[in-house]
Amino acid sequence: MRAAPLLDCEVLYQTKAAKAHEEMVKLEKAMEKTREGMTLRREMTKNIALLAKRVHKLDDEMLELRRSSAATRTQIANLEANVSMLMETVEDL
């Protein structure tokens, strides 16, 4: 009769060991997903920083184009004024 309690203990042990193994497998999968998520987060952070640099560079280029455009408008106005003065001079001649 002593074999039955030992057998019951062995079955209980095997059952608990199997459950513990299942939990361990679940935890390992969760850890892997966490690692993948952390890798994605690092990549996203890096990409966001690169995009911020590009946006800043484009903003600088746009500002330079605005300045250049303003300078060009000023030059055109000066040329128009010079042409107007030359036309008046030609008319006077």
Percentage with pLDDT > 70 across the chain: 95
pTM, to two decimals: 0.54
Record the tokens describing residue 37, joined without a space: 């998520």
Residue 16 confidence (pLDDT)? 93
pLDDT at 1 over 60: no
CA–CA separation, 6 vs 3, rounded Å? 5
Fill in the amino acid letter for 50. L
pLDDT at 5 over 80: no
Cα–Cα distance measured from residue 47 to residue 27, given in angstroms and rounded to the nearest whole number: 30
As a whole number of angstroms, the distance between CA 80 and CA 93 comes to 20
Q: What is the mean pLDDT of residues 77-86?
A: 92
Q: How far is CA 2 from CA 6, 68, 81, in A?
A: 7, 98, 117
Tens digits of residue pLDDT in 31-67: 999 999 999 999 999 999 999 999 999 999 999 988 8
